[in-house]
């Protein structure tokens, strides 16, 4: 229990937990107490995870109250402890490593890097990836443990990126010569039929380095296009809000171009509105040249740095 009860920095994940609890309960009071059934509801509705009743014992031990409830801060810590450390790491990534409450031993960490990451790692490299640059704190070369929270942070840091820009291939060839990090139904936070759509999903995807994101554009009320998984119970978000988020976070992790893959269900009038929105939001970042199918190649990634491209079926001139 003491392993779980420690200060947790406010992160995007924490804000997500808070927002989802507010959506589920309709209560914005940060002092609101939550029950185990509320947590199960969040996991079921937004992560498509059905939490077994056996974990109720964990909840009761963690809450340490006669009512078996948690406030928002406790809930955030429990979310990290259960989802990130116990479930995601223990049951998926680090299954079979038998690490202790203080984290991975140096030998276990090196074993993970060699067996799972397929790379040898020196003491200097281990110290670097777990250093202040990654975890926000200093790490001694003599430190005998890699804390689980720091290990998790390292997995999602730039230091663990599969793409090494310093060793990358020449980026001067036609864009279609390259594998492109792409996302499908980018707007969804959870289930494909009943999940929530969120602008935050685009932010998260872009910050993870994705270069091609999908927008399902549907006619919205008052001539205002929306992004929605059509003919499902998923929620809807405004296209304009999505474009603003893309414009802000497009080039945080990479200068290489962003491709907006448009699934276009808009009428002609709202297509014109959507095009105007893109021009207004993206300004000179938007590539507006007409690329003919007869052209022998596309511009290169280097030539398109900090540019946004739109991939969309062209309106027939007869219409």
Catalytic positions? 184, 229
User: Could you tell me if 183 and 216 are in contact, meaning their C-beta atoms sit under 8 angstroms apart?
Assistant: no
Nearest to 144 by CA among 107, 90, 184: 107
Residue 154: closest CA among 136, 171, 169: 136
- Buried b / exposed e over 236-245, threshold 16 CB at 10 Å, is ebebbebbbb
**E strands, 179-292, where?**
212-218, 226-227, 237-238, 258-265
Measured CA distances, 158 to 147, 153, 181 (Å): 18, 10, 15
Distance of alpha carbon 194 from alpha carbon 214, whole angstroms: 18
Measuring CA to CA, how many Å separate 42 from each of 17, 23, 203, 204, 227? 8, 9, 21, 19, 23
């Amino acid at each position: 229990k003491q392993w779980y009860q420690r200060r947790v920095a406010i992160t995007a994940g924490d804000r997500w937990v808070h927002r989802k609890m507010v959506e589920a309960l309709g209560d914005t009071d940060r002092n609101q107490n939550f029950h185990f059934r509320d947590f199960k509801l969040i996991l079921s509705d937004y992560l498509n995870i059905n939490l077994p009743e056996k974990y109720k014992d964990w909840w009761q031990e963690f809450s340490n109250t006669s009512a078996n409830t948690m406030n928002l801060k406790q809930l955030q810590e429990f979310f990290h402890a259960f989802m990130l450390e116990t479930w995601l790491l223990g049951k998926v990534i680090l299954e079979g490593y038998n690490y202790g409450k203080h984290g991975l031993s140096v030998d276990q960490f090196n074993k993970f890097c060699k067996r799972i990451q397929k790379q040898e790692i020196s003491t200097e490299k281990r110290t670097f990836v777990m250093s202040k640059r990654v975890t926000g704190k200093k790490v001694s070369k003599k430190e005998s443990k890699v804390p689980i929270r720091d290990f998790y942070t390292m997995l999602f840091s730039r230091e663990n990126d599969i793409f090494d820009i310093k060793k990358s291939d020449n980026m001067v060839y036609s864009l279609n010569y390259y594998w492109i990090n792409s996302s499908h139904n980018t707007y969804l936070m959870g289930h494909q039929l009943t999940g929530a759509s969120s602008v935050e999903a685009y932010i998260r995807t872009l910050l993870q380095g994705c270069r091609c994101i999908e927008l399902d554009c549907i006619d919205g009320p008052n001539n205002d296009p929306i992004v929605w998984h059509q003919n499902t119970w998923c929620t809807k978000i405004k296209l304009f809000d999505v474009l603003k988020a893309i414009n802000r976070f497009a080039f945080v992790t990479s200068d290489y171009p962003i491709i907006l893959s448009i699934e276009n269900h808009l009428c002609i009038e709202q297509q014109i509105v959507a095009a105007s929105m893109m021009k207004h939001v993206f300004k000179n970042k938007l590539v507006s040249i007409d690329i003919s199918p007869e052209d022998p190649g596309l511009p290169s990634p280097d030539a398109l740095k900090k540019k946004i491209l739109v991939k969309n079926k062209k309106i027939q001139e007869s219409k």
